[in-house]
Structure 1
């Protein structure tokens, strides 16, 4: 009986020791460093404070509206799928348009897009509203012949005139192309995707596993933060694709917009939020797996050849940047 009591006491002491043992100093230091270097994702996107429920509701309906394509086959959601656990992409290298022809670039995620400093890979749109106007009239994408034709369809619809009037109560003729884009942008501003990483930097030291913390350390020490900075882990600057080691691509990137020689092969640095869910990768969609993308970026952008073990660590960490409601 005495031996049993001693055993039980020792077992209870061990359990209490585990319970009382908080996060290690290493974890706390990493947590503080991550908060300083990256911070957490804001709860709302810029401009959303002015968005009404009626405006967002109209924008959501328009986002899924196939009447905005010439042959009634494509909507915004076709290439930027946000239904269910989808992460704002179609997971294709490049996306087919209304008549089956594929675009030239990979469709980036719409999640958190309103936080980005510009829109599109080449930054040709300043904000969500400007971006929303482009694909509808793009001959490869939704292929509508003109703004007038778009408005003609909407005005002939049984629901849209009244919905536009509710969303824009102070406007006499609310069904305009500018208002259409404004409504879609309002809906997209609701697509904020908090992750476990945000929980970690906001105080929950257990939000990241030991392996993910090791991956974060490797991500930082490798130099990934030279491009992937801030709470978006990117989307704040342009960088040359193949900055240290040339990357083979015929796409001239931002040069096509500016015609400035210095802008050749410059692309917007993509956000790494939800990156584990949004493959394939790069502007050309030619990197099929996240492991491949991480290795290639280290090589082409930093002239660093990662080992398989280092790559696996970084990939493990990147999974913690996924929307908590969109992971399986």
Structure 2
């Protein structure tokens, strides 16, 4: 993956925002997510993936599942500044929402996974998150649960199909169903001009004129829809360091993408996050340091655009962001296969 930035960004922010608004490039969220050719979405895969997503036996203690940090009965995150894993260990970054993650061009804050499939392999072997020794041990745990064999065969055919690649494909297939379309904004850009309030429409215009669309564009407001999957869309945060917010919200403590690439130019570079359903995903930023969406808008304007927004401008933009709250598909708990008595051995 190669870090992406916007050439001459500072001088073109306002122009980019105005162009998007003027050219009618506001885009509604698709109701289905694209799937890679080597992992087409099927009902059997989604069923299996949902089971694995909710199954805490993926973790060394049998206590942490994907759902633990990505609550799909609400905002797709855990509302903690940073997440808690096995043995009560605390991670270093805020859990990003899993809703609409299928539209990210890379996964994780630092973009280290090019796809949902690769992302699914990360948490199980993270010492803080799920704490498994390696991926072989992770899938070995699943193999010891006899009830899973039939579900893997339904999804991937007969034979030796209980493996980590297929488990990751199934989880990714389920996550591609986690789409929240038909927000007030989506209905508005499709032609229903009464779907958004006057304040939300005003906020939409302010959002563009301020320059926010230079990064937060596309259907999910997380970068260009033309960005190839796996390449990632990254931006330096803060782009304009030196404000009081650097210290107040500890913005310079995390190395960002540089922690993965070891490249100085990637310091404080992060994948551009989706702006959909922000009302459901507090606290905000990579370290979860902000509880208020109003404050987050002010901080972003100052640190990314070097602009001091007026209170009414902030309120209008927040009103627009509320228009991005979509419809959540109904979630039901899966029935998991029973646990053999000798499976979980770690306390």
TM-score for the superposition, normalised by structure 1: 0.85
Instruction: Work out which of the residue numbers 237, 256, 260 in structure 1 matches 2:259.
Output: 256
Residue in 2 that maps onto 1:20? none
Map of 1:1-328 to 2, 5 A cutoff?
33=21, 36-47=24-35, 50-83=40-73, 86-169=74-157, 172-194=159-181, 195-236=183-224, 237-246=233-242, 247=246, 248-325=251-328
Q: 1:210 to 1:228 in 2, by over 3 A?
A: same
Could you give the per-residue CA deviations for residues 278-316 of structure 1, whole angstroms, max 9, x where no partner exists?
A: 111111110111011000000000111112111111101
8 Å Cα contact 2:21/2:205 also seen in 1 = no
Shift of the alpha carbon at 1:163? Answer: 0.7
Distance 1:174 1:282 in 2: 39
8 Å Cα contact 1:48/1:186 also seen in 2 = no
8 Å Cα contact 1:37/1:229 also seen in 2 = no
Could you give the per-residue CA deviations for residues 58-86 of structure 1, whole angstroms, max 9, x where no partner exists?
A: 00000000000111111101101102xx0
Distance 1:34 1:186 in 2: 36
3-state SS in 1 of match to 2:88: coil
Distance 1:75 1:202 in 2: 38
Distance 2:213 2:133 in 1: 43
Higher relative contact order (CA 8 A, sep 6+): 2
8 Å Cα contact 2:184/2:325 also seen in 1 = yes
Aligned length: 293
Q: 1:186 to 1:305 in 2, by over 3 A?
A: same
Residue in 2 that maps onto 1:5? none
Distance 2:305 2:119 in 1: 31
Distance 1:235 1:137 in 2: 29
Q: 1:315 to 1:250 in 2, by over 3 A?
A: same
- Between 127-136 and 315-324, the greater mean CA deviation after superposition: 315-324
Residue in 1 that maps onto 2:341? none
- Between 243-252 and 141-150, the greater mean CA deviation after superposition: 243-252
User: Which runs of 5 or more structure 1 residues have no equivalent in the other structure?
Assistant: 1-29
TM-score for the superposition, normalised by structure 2: 0.81
3-state SS in 1 of match to 2:87: coil
Shift of the alpha carbon at 1:322? Answer: 0.8
8 Å Cα contact 2:179/2:328 also seen in 1 = no
8 Å Cα contact 2:223/2:272 also seen in 1 = yes
Shift of the alpha carbon at 1:152? Answer: 2.4
State which structure, 1 or 2, has the greater radius of gyration over its C-alpha atoms. Answer: 1
Shift of the alpha carbon at 1:244? Answer: 1.9
CA-based RMSD: 1.8
Shift of the alpha carbon at 1:151? Answer: 2.2
Distance 1:53 1:229 in 2: 31
Shift of the alpha carbon at 1:235? Answer: 4.5
User: Which runs of 5 or more structure 2 residues have no equivalent in the other structure?
Assistant: 1-17, 225-232, 330-347
